[in-house]
Homo-oligomer: A and B are copies of this chain.
Amino acid sequence: MTTDLDLAFAALADPTRRAILSMLLEDDMAVTDVAEPFQMSLAAISKHLQVLADAGLISQEKRGRVKWCKLEPDALRAASVWMQGFGQFDPVDLDDFERFLEDEFKADTSD
């Protein structure tokens, strides 16, 4: 049996997919634009997006020949709830978070 939580955590386990999610924090994006900063094929990115969509972390909508990708942060709720049960974490400093994302993104696209 594969649960929603399995899918969500598995999707988050890949740095490319986490980088994609953080890109989508800014704005909705077309598949081609999502793929641009990465050194891998468009087909590979398309697969990553499918994994994210299956986990409910993004939605995709085709308009014309462009498929738009949109973050669905609510899907992170179950996973967040699960983790919070293990400890009471302080509220997050969003500046720290942004710096964290930048570092991760650099590490992921630069090799």
Which residues of A come within 8 Å of B, CB atoms? Answer: 1, 3, 5-6, 9-10, 12-15, 18, 21, 25, 71, 73-74, 76-77, 79-87, 89, 91-92, 94, 96-98, 100-101, 104, 107, 111
Contacts and interface: CB of A to CB of B under 8 A. Distances in A.
A85 B107 contact: no
A96 B80 CA distance: 13
Given A13-B13, A18-B82, A107-B1, A77 B73 contact: no
B81 A76 contact: no
Contacts of A85: 25, 92, 94, 97-98, 100-101
Given A86-B71, A86-B76, A3 B104 contact: yes
